[in-house]
Amino acid sequence: MTDAPRSVEVARTGDIANERFAAIMRFPRRAALISGALVPVAAIVNLFVLKDISWPLFGVSVISALVTVLAVWNVANFSPTAIARLEALSSRVDGEFTLWKAGTGGYSGMPFAHGLEFERFGMLSYARHGMPVEIGHLSSRLNARARAPMGRRHAYVVIRLPERLPHMIVSFGHLSQILGARVVPDQWHRSQLVKLEVAPRFRLFVGDGGEQLARSFFTPDVVRMFQRVGRFYDVEMKGRDLYLFSSRSAAAGTERRWNGQRELIERLAATMTGSDIWDLVRDQSREHGPG
**DSSP run (H or E) holding 34:** helix 3-44
pLDDT in tens, 128-173: 999 999 999 999 987 777 666 666 889 999 999 999 999 998 888 7
Q: What is the pLDDT of residues 220-270, one digit of tens each?
A: 999 999 999 999 999 999 999 999 999 899 999 999 999 999 999 999 999
* 153 touches 175 (CB < 8 A): no
Does residue 36 or residue 146 have the better pLDDT? 36
Q: Please give the model's pTM, rounded to 2 decimal places.
A: 0.86
Distances from the Cα of 83 to the Cαs of 40, 80, 199, in angstroms? 33, 5, 35
What does each C-alpha distance from 204 to 101, 154, 191, 201, 230 come to in angstroms?
Answer: 32, 21, 11, 9, 12
Chain CA centroid to CA 42, Å: 35
pLDDT score of 149: 62
Burial (CB count within 10 angstroms: exposed 0-12, middle 13-18, buried 19+), residue 8: exposed
